[in-house]
Structure 1
Amino acid sequence: MTNIPETGRTPRVQIRLVVIQILVLSLLGTLGGRLWYLQIRNGDEYAKEASGNHVQQVVSPAVRGSILDARGVPIADNETRLVVSASRTDLLKMKDDGKAVLSKLAAVLGMKPQDVMEKVRLCDAKTPQPCWNGSPYQPIPITDEATAKQALQIRERSEDFPGITAEPEAVRRYAAPGGANTAQVLGYLSPVTDDEITKAEDSDSPYLRSDQVGRSGLERQYDQELRGKAGVTRYEVDNLGRVIGQAESDAAEPGSNVVTSIDARVQRVAEYQLNEAMKDARDVFDKNTGENYKADSGAVVVMEAKTGRVVAMASNPSYDPNAWVGGISGKDYAQLTGKTSNYPLLNRAIQGQSAPGSIFKVVPTAAAINAGYSFDGPYECSSSYSIGGQTFKNFETKGYGPISLGRALEVSCDTVFYRLSHEEWKKDGGIDPKGKPNDWFYKTAHQFGLGAETGIDLPNEVTGRIPDRQWKESYWEANKDSWCKYGKKGGTYAEQIAYENCLEGNKMRAGDSVNYSIGQGDTLVTPIQMAAIYGAISNGGTLYEPTVGKAIVSADGKNVEEIAPKANGKLPMTSKTRDEIDGALAGVATQGTAAWRFGGWPQDEIPMHAKTGTAEVYGKQTTSWFATYTKDYTVVMTISQGGTGSGASGPAVRNIYNALYGVSADGTIDSKKALLPTPQKSLPKIQSDGSIDAPKIEKYDPKKEQASETEALGGIDGQLPGATVSSPSAENRDTRRRRARGRGCGRRRTTGNRRLLT
């Protein structure tokens, strides 16, 4: 056996020991550095986080502020209900994800198990409503309509319902005082989402997972003021979760109340009259289509002329906003969003846009004067006007001879405006202008505020559209490929229009200007825009930013922040022109196209001004427009596929004025019946405890006025005693006028489709 000298292994062992020593020292250095970082460098931060492990928070939701009408009547407030909720976290701990518990709960509540399960599933791109779009860690409400007996069953048998609670809570209530629904103006609430919580973390008003957030209307516009601040109580707990003390507590701060300019009494009348006008229109036969008018949607705005404050705003079809309280059911959601419902969530007063027809004529009237034409004229009101072989006929194919612009407004003479717009089109260089054209008719419309938002304090307002040269160019760029692909020379009407638009849809053609001058073609407006314009004519020329909110009042009543009317500018006309147009619109109500609706009106005491409009839209029945004002109010109503302006909307608008001023069938004014003869200026009285006086309001009963209203509408031709109306009746004249326009000119006045004119 050979012995290996120890000196042969000694160097290798020493090297290994050195390496091990280095590794040990490195690990000790790393550990020491990490300990220094945790205990010294960031010691305070981690100590603070660690202390949080021993503190649990309990959130007390703030009571949401009320939304009140101008006299203090609650139109949205809160009430205590028994709310049954489910903890999704607890349910998912069960083997069947809580299906058995939810089925038992459904039996107690008298609901279908499937409906209950849909309530607690989370919303995502693939999950249809109903579903929960709030935090998955927040108790999910199943119903807020539980009875005391049902709540007692759940609480006494808690072992059978793990993760289920039944507690009294303050929930939103949309009171509909006197039947004033006010749905689209108020909006609705739904739970806050995780994305919203994250985005609001660094804001002055962060969200808590228990918060409900306004999704539309005033609930969204004034959400921050209404929401208040939730209370948070922090408890110290041990490692077993047992409370060992209270760290601190922040009391909940209730939300502020929003006082609006809405008068619930006028609102209920406006809603009723709009609905009745639509029902009546559906009983009228439309000879152009061979069926009754559909009258599928409508809107009405009642506004203070001198301030822009909205007194009433109704949109139809409507809905009950209480459907959203406590989580909306699948059936209700389908009804509100399905195509067959015609989208009742839309506020058509600010989101419904259509061609305005003849109520637009105040704009080209001002434009003509700005371009240098005289108000007095004379201008030839012939039975027709021809451009490049295309004949545009006046109503009844009747001419009035030389008339002023005022008389053209009274009788709504189209050919006067055809001539003026065509002359200006030629002055601007025709289809190929050189240099920068004046474009008075388009520029003036923008100065009236059209083609832009009015700025009303409601979300999602649309702008409407003024089809000027810039718009035509951008619209052509976006659509020329499809027009060129679909268009066919000599094909169907739609194919021919597409062919013409493909060739020169970016050019301002004579036909475009002619259609535009009478509120047709591609022009789109909203009821709130036209209410602002007619209100400005009434008040002397000031365009106001429409407002619904009137004041923000703190819950204790000590802080009141009034929302003052805000002027957006002046109408582009002199005071002389304003007075001339004002006089012409008074003539419309006394001897023009609206006279048959205002016969017997106390014109000397309450001067009435009006303009009727009947707009034609390709593929649909005519849209009814009626724009009116007095020294106090402007009322604008529109009914889609409802027929003529004065025929469909006229009676309803007259009845709204009757209610406002207390006008009886014989034209006398009964102040006891008047709801609001002058606008409400003062705020409701606030008590020392912060509560606000709220007068009682009775449900609107039109039957009480049925006899007087029937008398007010006159005989079969709709005339009143003393009315200044020529024969035949204005309704028949308006109908013949529309039919006459259709003869000899195809569908030349169709929104979005134009004839090729040179």
Structure 2
Amino acid sequence: MTNVPETGRTSRVQIRLVMVQVLVLSMFITLGGRLWYLQIRNGDEYYHEAKSNHVQRVVRPAVRGQILDARGVALADNETRLVVSASRTALMKMQDKGKGVMTRLADVLDMTPKAVMDKVRLCDSKTPKPCWNGSPYQPIPVTLEATTQQALTIRERPEDFPGITAEPTAVRRYPAPGGARTSQVLGYLSPVTDDEIQKAKDTDSPHLRSDQVGRSGIERTYDRQLRGKAMVTSYEVDNLGRVMHQTQSDNGVPGSTLVTSIDARVQAVAEYELQAAMKTVRHEVDNITNRPYEADSGAVVVMEAKTGRVVAMASQPDYDPNAWVGGINAKDYANLTSKGSNYPLLNRAIQGQAPAGSIFKVVSASAAVRAGYDFDGKYNCSASYDMGGRSFANFESKGHGPITLGEALKFSCNTVFYALGHKEWKKDGGLTPKKDAHDWFYRTAREFGLGAETHIDLPNEVTGRIPDRQWKQNFWKANKGAWCKQGKKGGTYVEQIAYESCLEGNQLKAYDSINFAIGQGDVLVTPIQMATAYAAISNGGTLYNPTVGKAVISANGKHVEMIQPQSHGKLPIGAKTIADLDRGLRMVVEPGGTAAWRFTGWPMDKIPMHAKTGTAQVYGKQTTSWLATYTKDFVIVMTISQGGTGSGASGPAVRNLYNAIYGLDMEGKQDLKKALLLQPEAKLPKIRPDGSIDAPEIRPYVPPSPEVPEPPALAGPPAARPARHD
């Protein structure tokens, strides 16, 4: 064996190490050079290529949930239509801003080019309808009613219609079952705005640009539940638009179904009867102004007395909510927002304010008892009440002598309540109120829920007004400057009132309290407030929050969230006073009562009826009709602005409503098969295994035959005439 010298072996190892080092160094130099080439030498080129690869999101909006009545009948649902939409972003990138495309599109859709261009222009303060008030980055519907041939033409010629799509889409529909529009209760939809998208960005219910959102009614209140969550799929695409791969997918959630407490059958009757009552009184002459009643607006509320759930709510004038679907046209928008149409978008059941008139007397009677007066004591019902040289007359200047508070409700005697209001004003110090003034009448009104929201689940409810001492002071401060400028001593009536208001408009005067006691003066109430108060009398004293929503059901039918009745207070009177009021209100429909002539033949033994009529006076207008009624299960309150007396204008409609609910004819005979709702609907609609709802059929309302003409009202002496006032 030959021995290798140690020095030779070491030299070879060193040579190998050097070669390895050189190889490694060469690799690093090559890699570094390549990185320099890619990042420095050609960095901009590759940056722009990488930038052109981007993520595209494909959004498929969730189908909006249905709105059903208490039995499952659809009040709002969806239907599939062929929708033609335009991408404003794509059109604006074209050299002619898309005019050529829109002109060709107009020809296909049998529209004018201007009509198409108006559809895709953006709304602002100067742009009239139609215009687009949603996000400019989402597809803008041009028509929701394209024919199959029109859609095929657009899809088969994409080169002629860049930025235009035509595809089947679920579109909102308001079917008006049985003729029940339910307009102001349902509300309407319109596209989401960029501002709304930003505000909802970090919430648990963010908006997508494709969303339609509720703008009024329960479409707005329950928008989050009805809207669901859109399906969003994200793709990475290259600069040629080719999909490289899917990066993310969110399956979305369909909108939930909202079951309401509305009964479409009762709603149809309420709408018809309110409109019919208004048409009828327009043919009657107002004895004060000697011209026909204008009956310019009205409202009716049907409510469950024991829960506050709304069974029907109608407001006139009304509108067709389908007008908003897909964007409203200029003519319809003008009709809905103009003074000439008297603003149909207003829900006068929760937004219409007027003096309460005599239906307010349940509050005054309660206040009197709280102040120490005996409900069954005797109070003088004179033909007029004199105070400081001024005379305040009974309606029709008729007196009844000494009567109880129950009888004061029966005859609607103003002078009894004038005297009580005046006495309490003096006890509280009159023009110089005591520090411990009780203000029983004003306190009781507020504790009946007046002058405040009822917390109904509908947006934009108004509060009405209770003109107590604090309100007088605040109102005077706000208006003193204008009054002092307008006022003139010894001038016209308006100028004289302004003059007096300038000097002492902050004082609660005797005539303020006298008028307040009969629901007049500066008192303002809404139909929903009065329905809530009368429901509390019926149910034993609980003031419920009125509700339209009853339950939210998930799209698959597996999850049900009940919307339970909630209370916002109790009446400020005991069980005895409530029973006394109940007794007095029953007398109103019994012989001699102001509503008796409208409830002739009513089966009081089977279905006890209670009512209060009211005729409110408004300066510069004809009288406003009020009628508040209840049974053990239901409350109905109706009002007609400039419609005359309570029993005269509203009486027939309210009677017909009750007849339909209980299956009665005008003689009081009951046919249970014809009854719409003998008692409130307790169960929810039946849900099928697939989540769909088993809905019954509904027939249009057939109004009863016209009443037999009444005998002449002027026959006989005044005392023998039917008591029809208020």
User: What is the TM-score of this pair, normalised by structure 2?
Assistant: 0.91
| Structure 1 equivalent of residue 723 of structure 2 | 730
| Structure 1 equivalent of residue 136 of structure 2 | 136
| Structure 2 equivalent of residue 25 of structure 1 | none
Structure 2 unaligned runs (5+)? 1-34, 40-46
2:664 aligned partner, one-letter code:
V
Conserved 8 A contact 1:596-1:729? yes
- For 1:663 and 1:177, the matched residues in 2 are separated by 23
Aligned ranges 1:482-501 → 2 under 5 Å: 482-501=482-501
- For 1:400 and 1:57, the matched residues in 2 are separated by 78
CA shift for structure 1 position 254:
0.2
- For 1:83 and 1:558, the matched residues in 2 are separated by 32
CA shift digits 1:80-100 (9 cap, x unpaired): 001111111122123332223
| Structure 1 equivalent of residue 225 of structure 2 | 225
Aligned ranges 1:403-418 → 2 under 5 Å: 403-418=403-418
CA shift for structure 1 position 717:
5.3
2:679 aligned partner, one-letter code:
T
- For 1:427 and 1:564, the matched residues in 2 are separated by 43
- For 1:232 and 1:299, the matched residues in 2 are separated by 44
Question: Tell me, what secondary structure is at the counterpart of 1:79?
Answer: strand
CA shift for structure 1 position 398:
2.1
Question: Tell me, what secondary structure is at the counterpart of 2:470?
Answer: helix
Aligned ranges 1:51-200 → 2 under 5 Å: 53-200=53-200
Change over 3 Å in CA distance of 1:240–1:158 after alignment to 2: closer
| Structure 2 equivalent of residue 600 of structure 1 | 601
Aligned ranges 1:401-480 → 2 under 5 Å: 401-480=401-480
CA shift digits 1:561-600 (9 cap, x unpaired): 0011111211111111111110110000113100000010
CA shift for structure 1 position 110:
2.7
Is residue 591 of structure 2 the alignment partner of residue 566 of structure 1? no
Higher radius of gyration, 1 or 2 = 2
Conserved 8 A contact 1:539-1:631? yes
Change over 3 Å in CA distance of 1:240–1:152 after alignment to 2: closer
| Structure 2 equivalent of residue 672 of structure 1 | 673
Question: Tell me, what secondary structure is at the counterpart of 1:396?
Answer: helix
Conserved 8 A contact 1:597-1:718? no
- For 1:550 and 1:621, the matched residues in 2 are separated by 38
| Structure 2 equivalent of residue 710 of structure 1 | 707
Aligned ranges 1:563-712 → 2 under 5 Å: 563-591=563-591, 592-702=593-703, 705-706=704-705, 710-711=707-708
Change over 3 Å in CA distance of 1:507–1:582 after alignment to 2: same
CA shift for structure 1 position 149:
2.1
- For 1:333 and 1:355, the matched residues in 2 are separated by 31
Change over 3 Å in CA distance of 1:102–1:718 after alignment to 2: farther
- For 2:484 and 2:416, the matched residues in 1 are separated by 35
- For 1:104 and 1:288, the matched residues in 2 are separated by 62
Conserved 8 A contact 1:65-1:77? yes
- For 1:321 and 1:574, the matched residues in 2 are separated by 44
Conserved 8 A contact 1:282-1:293? yes
CA shift for structure 1 position 670:
0.6
- For 1:211 and 1:356, the matched residues in 2 are separated by 42
Change over 3 Å in CA distance of 1:716–1:116 after alignment to 2: farther
Conserved 8 A contact 1:596-1:718? no
- For 2:659 and 2:607, the matched residues in 1 are separated by 11
CA shift digits 1:414-454 (9 cap, x unpaired): 00001000000000111112323111000000100001000
Aligned ranges 1:365-404 → 2 under 5 Å: 365-404=365-404
| Structure 2 equivalent of residue 21 of structure 1 | none
CA shift for structure 1 position 113:
2.9
CA shift for structure 1 position 125:
2.4
- For 2:289 and 2:397, the matched residues in 1 are separated by 21
CA shift digits 1:248-268 (9 cap, x unpaired): 322121011000000000000
- For 2:52 and 2:455, the matched residues in 1 are separated by 46
| Structure 1 equivalent of residue 300 of structure 2 | 300
2:420 aligned partner, one-letter code:
L
Conserved 8 A contact 2:714-2:721? no
1:286 aligned partner, one-letter code:
D
Question: Tell me, what secondary structure is at the counterpart of 2:417?
Answer: helix
CA shift for structure 1 position 718:
13
- For 1:232 and 1:410, the matched residues in 2 are separated by 65
CA shift digits 1:682-701 (9 cap, x unpaired): 11111111111100111222
- For 1:386 and 1:218, the matched residues in 2 are separated by 49
CA shift for structure 1 position 164:
1.6
Deviates more, 1:678-687 or 1:142-151: 142-151
| Structure 1 equivalent of residue 268 of structure 2 | 268
Question: Tell me, what secondary structure is at the counterpart of 2:590?
Answer: helix
1:695 aligned partner, one-letter code:
P
User: What is the TM-score of this pair, normalised by structure 1?
Assistant: 0.87
- For 1:150 and 1:505, the matched residues in 2 are separated by 68
Count of equivalent residues: 677
CA shift for structure 1 position 111:
2.7
Conserved 8 A contact 1:543-1:569? yes
CA RMSD of aligned residues (A): 1.9
Is residue 204 of structure 2 the alignment partner of residue 211 of structure 1? no
Conserved 8 A contact 2:588-2:610? yes
